Structure 1
Amino acid sequence: MSQLKQTLAKKIAEHSVRTQRLLKEFGNVVIDKVTISQAIGGMRDIKALVTDISYLDPFEGIRFRGKTIPETFEALPKAPGSKYPTVEAFWYFLLTGDIPTKEQVDEVLKEWKVRQVVPSYVWDAIRALPRDSHPMVMLSTGILTMQKDSKFAKFYSSGNFNKKVAWEYVYEDAYDLVARIPIIAAFIYNLKYRGDFQVAPDPSLDMGANFAHMIGQCKEYADVARMYFILHSDHESGNVSAHTTHLVHSALSDPYYAYSAGLNGLAGPLHGLANQEVLDWIIKFEEKYLKGAEPTKELIEKALWDTLNSGQVIPGYGHAVLRKTDPRYTAQRNFCLETPGLKDDPLFKVVSMIYEVAPDVLMKHGKAKNPWPNVDAQSGVIQWYYGVREWDFYTVLFGVGRALGCMANITWDRGLGYPIERPKSVTTDMLEQWAANPPQL
């Protein structure tokens, strides 16, 4: 180890003791309206962001434009022959807060087809990457490559930049991005996992059905895509991908810069990458504890206690905000229960039985603030059932859906003229001074 690294290791170890003492003994000391624990702990629960696109209530779950997930699915016009709305109808709803008419959805569908044409240089850029690159690297690169044609960037550089109409150019880029990202995602899937067998988009299909078509899926998968992209679209603005997109765009970086950055945050194992980790854990859990046996409550309960007592966690359970079963989990669980074949799938049976047993086990264990499942506890099983078993790709699917919420949000950011985001930092010395002499508020 180099002298520099040794010195740094020593200083980090010494400093860590100070940080942990502040959290343990003085975490509730208020410093200018926030506590020491909030300042150190990732700004948790500080109400400092504004969005009307979605709101996450700890005890109710996500609402899109004021509507719960069931209410959203019920209210929006459905895809032909489906009980699920088109993603295009949902895009209109996220942007405006209004339930579109059939005519308005048809207009969006028509415009979507024009915007979904991806420039050929995007394919060149993705192909130039090492073939074993993670698909999220490919997706982020593909989005960033389109920046050279950003309408917002050209408007800003034109010499005629006007803040009052800037949102119109963000809207153009955002609309192009959400229309193109499923095409890029399908290209990446085919490039990496289907021997570069590319399938052209079908202009007669809506986004969900088109995505299923391009990756060689069955027609039933169209509903999986519609449901998945809508459920993963937004989760208010504090999560990493949404906040990163907002933060980068607040510097007036165009939507391509902003969402490429958001995707890079989504790729983290504490965020979007968690879905593949959960599925990996479930498969290994089944192999280790069940060994082909029917997943009874007794077997699952013993296996979960063995897991916890060995110092491991139960992936897919708990959430930074929610204190109930994630409604996105429930929506996907209901899809499984209502789909012939899927409800009897061995892997789904394991997931379903874990859901029946795990909350009680976690409550008795006593260390989980939220013993209920989140969206990641369920989503991978559906993809696995339909043959999308390359779980490195699951976060790409998440990224396609999340683009809808992020692009709707930054369009409104510019429309309302929100300023550059710039929170204030403090030093550890300052925190220790406040801990010794709490400010008089």
Structure 2
Amino acid sequence: MSASILRTSRTKPVWSALARARFSSTAPKNTTLKERLAELIPVELENVKRVRAEHGKKAFGPVIVDQLYGGMRGLPALIWDGSVLDADEGIRFRGKTIPECQELLPKAPGGAEPLPEGLFWLLVTGEIPTQEQVTELSKDWAARSAIPEFVEEILDRCPPTLHPMSQFSLAVTALNHDSAFAKAYQDGVSKKEYWGPTFEDSMDLIAKLPNIAGRIYNNVFGKGKLAAIDPAKDYSHNLSTLLGFGDNAAFVELMRLYITIHSDHEGGNVSAHTGKLVGSALSDPFLAFAASLNGLAGPLHGLANQEVLLWLSKMQSKIGENASDEAVKEYVWATLKGGQVVPGYGHAVLRKTDPRYTAQREFALKHLPEDPLFKLVGQIYNIVPDILLEAGKAKNPWPNVDAHSGALLTHYGLTQMQFYTVLFGVSRAFGVAAQLIWDRALGAPLERPKSYSTAAIEKMFKDKS
């Protein structure tokens, strides 16, 4: 295995010393998340004011015509505080790599993976919470977890043939009925106070997602009576229980890791950007996140891990479970020569192995090293990059997060691929909600970029010539 494949977020940092200093402290004890946020908002308002005063009139990156036609790829156009994605080192959550989060964030008793509750605290505040603060956050989400009866009825009336992501979006949209922000706005709340009801909606949103996801899974795949949220358990444990896997400690650990690493991936991806865009219209977090889910449901975004699993399954059926390296190489070449891509390899931004892939690989090596599908994933990991480089098919021939997650879920019996994007959606709520809170706290404006027609672009350059 080449050393370059193993390069992850442990390599060169992109954060300045100042940024790392701002986002490296631990949370003060004996304070709730909302109390701490209220303390941080005026500090960050002054920081944003300072940055704009010092740098607001400076150019920030070139814009070329190809970027306009190419889906704004690489165009610097958003502020997203929770995470930054670097081409070489991968994702950092408030300046911290995935290995650092795994080390520093609180864990469940006897667990080794970070609790998503701690990751959410980090995304919101830039601080590492205490074990007690994370426990209180778990209890708070459990207390908020019930979904309205009419939302249950909406889900129960959906035909099982309706895609789980469509059901997910319907249910989240319907939660708008009880939005604290929508009510406060109607009542004339001050703009300076927008963040408070946005925070409450965001907390309710995240808290209710396990019940929504569990009900969809139960209705579509027929898993019997739906379990109840246990107020003494953490978020991932309750989600696992609602899916019917709560008795499997390793699956619960996988959910803790899965939610953490899928929670945020800076602001330019479709689901994150959609949530920010819709939220900028002062749509409440439920409406904004429902829009995010509709973007996540697209085959170029959240469905990628399904495509990987289908490709792996077809490979196994054709060449067998314990195929030779030569047989795998022939199958990969046949895929490429057939005009198809190798799913799970390459990334729009990353130019090294996705650290989220590495985290999942390390989990598999610890918990399921002899699993046949994981062995195939590892075999492909050693073979595909060199083939892609030889074929000239990818600027980045290294695996991304989707190359691995399906194999892990399948190992533990969650084989219903149509449901995988729902789990991705539960995770992505953490990053979208954290940014929505800060957008309201900082008074972020309505997003309204300028667009041009092809004729206007031609005229612009003709006039300059």
Scaled by the length of structure 1, what TM-score is found?
0.89
Aligned to 1:22: none
Matched, 1:130 2:159: yes
Counterparts of 2:424 and 2:257 in 1: how far apart (Å)? 11
Aligned to 2:131: 102
Q: How does 1:100-249 map to 2 (within 5 A)?
A: 100-158=129-187, 160-217=188-245, 218-249=248-279
C-alpha distance after superposition, 1:17-45 (max 9, x if no partner): xxxxxxxxxxxxxxx95111011111111
Counterparts of 2:81 and 2:283 in 1: how far apart (Å)? 22
Matched, 1:414 2:444: no
Counterparts of 1:248 and 1:34 in 2: how far apart (Å)? 24
Aligned-partner residue type, residue 107 of structure 1: E
Matched, 1:326 2:361: no
- Identical aligned pairs, as a percentage? 51
Aligned to 1:3: none
Counterparts of 1:346 and 1:107 in 2: how far apart (Å)? 40
Q: Classify 1:435/1:109 alpha carbon distance in 2 versus 1 (closer, same or farther; 3 Å).
A: same
Aligned to 2:22: none
Aligned to 2:292: 262
Q: Residue 277 of structure 1: CA displacement?
A: 1.3
Q: Classify 1:195/1:386 alpha carbon distance in 2 versus 1 (closer, same or farther; 3 Å).
A: closer
Aligned to 1:397: 423
Task: Give structure 1 stretches of 5+ with no counterpart.
Answer: 1-31
Of the three residues 61, 66, 70, the one matched with 1:37 is: 66
Aligned-partner residue type, residue 257 of structure 2: M
Task: Give structure 2 stretches of 5+ with no counterpart.
Answer: 1-60
- The 8 Å contact of residues 186 and 211 in structure 1, kept in 2 or not, is answered as yes
Please identify, of 193-202 and 205-214, the stretch whose mean Cα deviation from structure 2 is larger: 193-202
Counterparts of 1:196 and 1:136 in 2: how far apart (Å)? 20
Counterparts of 1:291 and 1:436 in 2: how far apart (Å)? 60
Counterparts of 1:48 and 1:139 in 2: how far apart (Å)? 29
Counterparts of 2:339 and 2:241 in 1: how far apart (Å)? 43
C-alpha distance after superposition, 1:158-178 (max 9, x if no partner): 1x2211110111000001101
Of the three residues 298, 303, 319, the one matched with 2:326 is: 298
Counterparts of 2:422 and 2:152 in 1: how far apart (Å)? 16
Matched, 1:57 2:86: yes
Matched, 1:274 2:300: no
Aligned to 1:313: 341
Query: What's the secondary structure of 2:290's corresponding residue?
Result: helix
Aligned-partner residue type, residue 449 of structure 2: P
Aligned-partner residue type, residue 279 of structure 1: L
Counterparts of 1:327 and 1:219 in 2: how far apart (Å)? 24
Matched, 1:372 2:398: yes
Query: What's the secondary structure of 2:85's corresponding residue?
Result: strand
Counterparts of 1:437 and 1:61 in 2: how far apart (Å)? 42
C-alpha distance after superposition, 1:218-262 (max 9, x if no partner): 222110111111111000000000000000000000001100000
Aligned to 1:15: none
Q: Residue 383 of structure 1: CA displacement?
A: 0.5
Q: How does 1:62-77 map to 2 (within 5 A)?
A: 62-77=91-106
- The 8 Å contact of residues 296 and 353 in structure 1, kept in 2 or not, is answered as no
- The 8 Å contact of residues 93 and 123 in structure 2, kept in 1 or not, is answered as yes
Q: Residue 344 of structure 1: CA displacement?
A: 0.9
C-alpha distance after superposition, 1:290-322 (max 9, x if no partner): 224x23322222221122122221011111111
Equivalences, count: 403
C-alpha distance after superposition, 1:106-146 (max 9, x if no partner): 22122122111222221111112222110001111111111
Scaled by the length of structure 2, what TM-score is found?
0.85
Query: What's the secondary structure of 2:265's corresponding residue?
Result: coil
Aligned-partner residue type, residue 94 of structure 2: R
RMSD of aligned residue pairs (Cα, Å)? 1.4
- The 8 Å contact of residues 80 and 435 in structure 2, kept in 1 or not, is answered as yes
